[in-house]
Structure 1
Amino acid sequence: MILSQLYGMKPPYTITGKILKLVASISEKIGEVNAAHLSKPPTELRKKNRIKTIHSSLEIEGNTLTIEQITAIVENRRVIGPKKDILEVKNAIVVYDYLDNLNPNSFESFCEAHGLLMNGLIESAGQLRSKSVGIVKGSEIAHIAPQSGMLKPLMNDLFDYLKNDDDLILIKSCVFHYEMEFIHPFIDGNGRMGRLWQTLILKNYHPVFEFLPIETLIKERQENYYEALGKSDNSGESTLFIEFMLEIIHESFEELLNIQNVSLENIDRINLFKSIIKEDYFSRKDYLKNFREISPATASRDLKFAFENGMVEKIGDKNSTRYKFK
């Protein structure tokens, strides 16, 4: 596997019937999310899912802080706990808040994210490791990572695959996650980087992925997660890991869509419409077309709120009024 990557070949995996079925079902779920205006879920739900994501990803790595403590840190309240654990949470908050500035196809962005995530935790934050490492499970060495001299070409090949291969992004995000874990480019923080970067790759594909409880489900099935990594190592290809991660993604969509009676607030509708319309001018009629369940009066109140709070500019008057997001 390593030599195939080193010489620029595609990472090995097989597209199974199970993978195709999961991809098709996830694509259907994305359609349901769009129809339910959940591309950007309500603000409070987004906040809760972000906190759960940080808690789960760090708990997998041994962090001891509770969801309540992480919530307090997010809200800038004082927390008593191990300094290292608190710093890990603060760093994770910084990285997740910085997602819009990261390019999923850029190795430089990847290293920048690691630098933010591991800032103050290791001396080599943001830098490839300079020594060999083995992954120990119990009393046995479960995986010997590639030598440090191979890391840059391996990661360049992996990003080249991510940018240029024709396979579906759902599949490529899983392959990247697995191969990055296998390469183990950093001395520490590889697990959380693998999960973070898959989220970033998928977020670029559809905004809802930023807010799905993917890492929470991985934490709940942590043994299966490591088992899928190990079995893929043993088989010499990432097929089993792709199947596992697509199952997790599918399940996370079901969790989101199972939320009953989700009612969007005006700010949620405004932000969602901004992500759709971007910098184009639009009318109240355009806004209503996207939110058929609200009345013209509600649409007018939304747009008045957006204008008064400096979110949009407007030109014209009455029926000829046009709006544009700033």
Structure 2
Amino acid sequence: MKNIYFKENNKIRELVKKIEALNIAYKTLEPPPEIIKDLLGKSLLKSALYSARIEGNPLSLAEVGERSLEKNSKSLHQKEVANLLSAYLFVNSKNAPKMFSKNLILKLHQLVMKNIFSQAGSFRSEPSAIFNQAGIAVYLAPSPKLINGLIDELILFANQKSVPVLAKSAVIQFAFEKIHPFLDGNGRVGRLLSAFILFKAGYSYLSSSLEEYINENKLQYYEALEPSKDAGGFVEFYLQALLQTAKKNFSKINADNTKTEGNDLLPRRKEILLIIKDHPDCSFDFISRRFSSVNPKTLHYDLKKLQDSGFVIKIGRTRGALYRAKN
């Protein structure tokens, strides 16, 4: 992009290295689908809430939940969070587009501003500026005539495979704020675009609820967004936010995974363990006959987890291997 730049430095490289290491470690955990689903559901609600709070929404986590959002649709603050939740669910779903595009940007704005803003899903056609708390204009946005061209540049940058994805997700948010293509909702859509980039690159579980960190460090966030062209400071802030969020999410997943494999075994694994206790030295075929509707690969995975957790011993290595409960 012509008007936006950043120079990779040692700090950025170190942050990227740590985040990538956590992502690799996460993949080796192989958490069960139910743990992933639970974490992602809670994290996306947090992303929606804290993205709204960054913009001044007063609701707290205790005040929102999917049910309350549905029941209190007349409240503007509830609508804001409900709309954002819909947008984050869309970004993290199979229905999300494969490529970063103008249609994606307009779709996200439409979701975010639904029943809130009359020009939802449309670029602005009038001048705009960013004001500080004193009401003083601190940044004049580009002319409406330039918006489509600047967005096209952003799309080209976003779809470049040569740009490292973690830095790319930060620069996109920074550049989008500078383009300021909408009269309202630019910050919320910008954060969603970063989330989209991370989801497509396989970082969604570690980056979920990144907005909570940003909300807690709002002053630094806005200070990092201030320079008009140099995105370096914002990239550093964003990667630090991503690293802290990734550490938090990894610890949560690891703890839940350990708990699941301990006394709180998943129902099917608990049943498998009971079968092995009742029938010492039983074969895989014997166990699989009790779970005819379950994929054999899933049963092998369950047995491996029971072994890893110290509940079961495998005797032999061939197809004739037997399983015995560990005393």
TM-score bin (small chain): 0.7 to 0.9
Alignment of 1:242-257 (within 5 A): 242-257=235-250
> Cα–Cα, structure 1 residues 28 and 150, in superposed 2: closer, same or farther, change >3 Å?
same
> Cα–Cα, structure 1 residues 96 and 135, in superposed 2: closer, same or farther, change >3 Å?
same
- What does residue 276 of structure 1 align with? none
Check conservation: 2:44, 2:89, Cα contact below 8 A. no
Question: Which moves more between the two structures, 146-155 or 112-121?
Answer: 112-121
2:197 pairs with one of 195, 201, 207: 201
* Corresponding residue pairs, total: 274
Displacement of 1:36 after TM fit? Answer: 1.8
- 1:179-209 CA-partner distances (Å, limit 9, x unpaired): 0011101110001111111011100100534
Check conservation: 2:46, 2:61, Cα contact below 8 A. yes
- When normalised by structure 2's length, the TM-score is 0.75
Question: Which moves more between the two structures, 202-211 or 243-252?
Answer: 202-211
For 1:149 and 1:290, how far apart are their aligned partners in 2? 59
> Cα–Cα, structure 1 residues 167 and 284, in superposed 2: closer, same or farther, change >3 Å?
same
> Cα–Cα, structure 1 residues 211 and 226, in superposed 2: closer, same or farther, change >3 Å?
closer
> Cα–Cα, structure 1 residues 291 and 253, in superposed 2: closer, same or farther, change >3 Å?
farther
For 2:207 and 2:300, how far apart are their aligned partners in 1? 25
1:293 pairs with one of 305, 310, 327: 305
- 1:244-287 CA-partner distances (Å, limit 9, x unpaired): 100000111111122353135869x9xxxxxxxxxxxx962476
- 1:69-100 CA-partner distances (Å, limit 9, x unpaired): 32154674x349x7211221221222222222
Query: How many percent identity over aligned positions?
Result: 24
Determine whether 1:53 maps to 2:67: no
For 2:144 and 2:307, how far apart are their aligned partners in 1? 61
- What does residue 277 of structure 2 align with? none
For 1:291 and 1:168, how far apart are their aligned partners in 2? 39
Check conservation: 1:19, 1:243, Cα contact below 8 A. yes
- What does residue 111 of structure 1 align with? 106
> Cα–Cα, structure 1 residues 290 and 124, in superposed 2: closer, same or farther, change >3 Å?
farther
Q: Secondary structure at the match of 1:186?
A: coil
In structure 2, stretches of 5+ residues that fail to align are 270-293, 309-318, 321-327
2:162 pairs with one of 153, 161, 166: 166
Structure 1 runs of 4+ off > 6 angstroms?
none
For 1:34 and 1:243, how far apart are their aligned partners in 2? 25
Q: In terms of Rg, which structure is larger?
A: 2
- What does residue 21 of structure 2 align with? 28
For 1:45 and 1:64, how far apart are their aligned partners in 2? 24
For 1:84 and 1:207, how far apart are their aligned partners in 2? 31
> Cα–Cα, structure 1 residues 288 and 110, in superposed 2: closer, same or farther, change >3 Å?
farther
- When normalised by structure 1's length, the TM-score is 0.75
- What does residue 189 of structure 1 align with? 185
Displacement of 1:243 after TM fit? Answer: 0.6
Question: Which moves more between the two structures, 148-157 or 58-67?
Answer: 58-67
Question: Which moves more between the two structures, 164-173 or 256-265?
Answer: 256-265
